[in-house]
Amino acid sequence: MKKNSNNNDSELIEKVKKGNEMAFNFLMNKYYSRVYASLLSFTKSKEDAEDLTQQTFVKVWQQIKTFRGDSAFFTWVYRIAINLAKNYVSSSGYKKQRLNSSIDDIEIEIKTLDNSELSLMHEESLKNIRRFINSLPESLRTAFTLREQDGLSYEEIGVITETPIGTVRSRIFRAREAILEHIKKELINYD
């Protein structure tokens, strides 16, 4: 089934390379939600994910003639999306926006304190783990997120990040190890 999908993509890609907008729209519709979901997990912002998804497909349209087919089309699109997201996240505008949204999140948390204590502790633990994951070095965080959140194979992650598979496996292992160590410390501190 997957091979047939790649064949269909190949035919559409050739049409897009010739300027066929209908073929491009079909490909965009096919992959839009997957790209958006990945960017949402990367940026933690619906607006940023939407903007970056649109930028991704603009760039795909502009650069489609450079696609050689060495990897699956989605892998190529995904690499464009992740590179755009990395550039955006490292920009100063993003950091300022994240600070403002963090303050907004705190205000929302204060307003919803009537939740049960257990629910609140659970939410706080999840936020703490997410913060820790976001504090990991970019290479570990990206590999871990692509594997655990997006469900990509080691091979796909290697292609997207332009990293050997052994390095991808090592980064994911180190990220998991660091996260588990963080959770253990939190449990010890909680008691």
Domain count, the chain: 2
Give exposure, 67-90, as e/b (b: 16+ Cβ within 10 Å).
Answer: beeebbbbbbbbbbbbebbeebbe
pLDDT of residue 99: 46
- Give me the CATH number covering residue 177: 1.10.10.10
Domain identity same for 146 and 76: no
Domain identity same for 83 and 134: no
Domain span including residue 52: 2-89
Domain identity same for 83 and 22: yes
> 38-42, 44-48, 109-113, 179-183: lowest mean pLDDT where?
109-113
* Residue 190 pLDDT exceeds 60: no
Whether residue 98 is contained in a domain is answered as: no
Helix axes 46-63, 73-89, angle to 10 degrees: 130
Token digits for 72?
């699956």
* Residue 24 pLDDT exceeds 70: yes
What is the chain's mean pLDDT, rounded? 80
Percent of the chain with pLDDT over 90: 31
Helix axes 21-43, 73-89, angle to 10 degrees: 50
> 12-26, 28-42, 83-97, 144-158: lowest mean pLDDT where?
83-97
Cβ neighbours, 10 Å, residue 28 = 19
Domain identity same for 73 and 150: no
- Give me the CATH number covering residue 13: 1.10.1740.10
pTM higher than 0.75: no
Shortest CA distance to 150 belongs to which of 43, 54, 38, 51? 38
Whether residue 96 is contained in a domain is answered as: no
